[in-house]
Amino acid sequence: MRTTSTTAPRLVLAGALAAALLLGGATTGPAARAAERPGQEHTLADLAQRHGRYFGSATDNPELADEPYTALLGREFDQITPGNGMKWYATEPRQGVFDFSQGDEIVNLARSKGQKVRGHTLVWHSQLPDWLTGREWTAPELRAVLKKHIQTQVRHYRGKVFAWDVVNEAFNEDGTYRDTVFLRTLGPGYIADALRWAHQADPHVRLYLNDYNIEATGPKSDAYHELAKQLKARHVPLHGIGFQTHLALQYGYPATLEDNLRRFSRLGLDTALTEVDVRMQLPATEEKLAEQARWYRSLTEACLAVRRCVGITLWDYTDKYSWIPAFFPGEGAALPWDEALRPKPAYHALREALQTPRRGR
């Protein structure tokens, strides 16, 4: 999610070695580097790769000037999601005029570290440019605009991202479709069209729907389950569901997370925890940090228990760059590293979960 401080490109690569590098080959990235530093502790990415998963973090362009931050980002994780640089306001600030510089910067950083990139996001009701939201569109007009935006961006990043959050936050909490310019003008069929257009532009990339508050079973996750069944029945190219997993201690842990992941896998879909943070009402206390650590461990265990849960991504890894305080006043301390880049109990809980042998099913 992340707005301008929230939730959110591709050339064909030659050669099997390049493909392995960018799309998560076992010979590159943090796992390979771990072999080059005997005696040093395995990273979260190293440990996740033992389970066939990735462990990633979101990042954003202004943060990349912070060298200690960027060094840890490149060392600990094997996957990156651009927090804002691939959103519509950044990539098509004027109609038909595309700017991929922010996304390219993060993709190039990831390539230099042997990390893979999740594209985020192609269609979302938020952070749209004024030229799109400031006028009325006919259905044919908006359909053409949407298709051009999706296909231009997907083609640009073809071979450089392994997955796209194609449509982000399409449902309300009660399971009804969210009222957006796309729904009002095009109807709910815009979701299937967006997936088809993205697939046409890059037949090899994994295509996801992504949302928050769908971790537990309930009306909103039920709506995604029903939509996914319909799309699959119509042979629409949908490969996975992204569970954002923005959690808050005061609302309770989503105890049905593992069961919910599993029911989507039974549809033949991958799942991923895509924007993980666990916020709390400040001030943070030892008790709250211990509870937060238990939640981080539990959500990791849930993903590891379900074979088609392919990975976990923190919504940035440090409280220094968390979006939470700006959008939830009085709340924060949501991430496994504190503002000084020191690991918190949550970090150690993640390590413990990833070090526990298990077989996903």
As a whole number of angstroms, the distance between CA 41 and CA 288 comes to: 27
Lowest mean pLDDT among 31-40, 259-268, 349-358: 31-40
Helix axes 257-265, 286-305, angle to 10 degrees: 20
**Tens digit of pLDDT for each residue in 153-205?**
999 999 999 999 999 999 999 999 999 999 999 999 999 999 999 999 999 99
Q: 92, 215, 258, 275: which one is catalytic?
A: 275
A 10 A CB-CB count for 141 gives 12
CATH topology of domain 16-355: TIM Barrel (3.20.20)
Q: 76, 92, 169, 215: which one is catalytic?
A: 169
Torsion sign across C-alpha atoms 282, 285, 289, 291 = negative
pLDDT at 3 over 90: no
**Tens digit of pLDDT for each residue in 63-75?**
999 999 999 999 9
Tell me what pLDDT residue 22 has.
Answer: 35
Please say if 301 is a catalytic residue.
no
Contact between 242 and 170 (Cβ < 8 Å): no
Task: Output DSSP code: residue 341.
Answer: S
Please say if 169 is a catalytic residue.
yes
As a whole number of angstroms, the distance between CA 295 and CA 185 comes to: 40
What's the full length of the chain, in residues?
Answer: 361
- Strand pairing report for 331-332 and 270-281: antiparallel
**Tens digit of pLDDT for each residue in 250-264?**
999 999 999 999 999
Domain residue limits, the chain: 16-355
pLDDT at 16 over 50: no
Contact between 78 and 55 (Cβ < 8 Å): yes
User: Got the DSSP string for 52-78?
Assistant: T-EEEEEE-GGGGG-HHHHHHHHHH-S
In the numeric block, the tokens 């080059």 are attached to 36
Contact between 106 and 70 (Cβ < 8 Å): no
**Average pLDDT in the chain:** 91
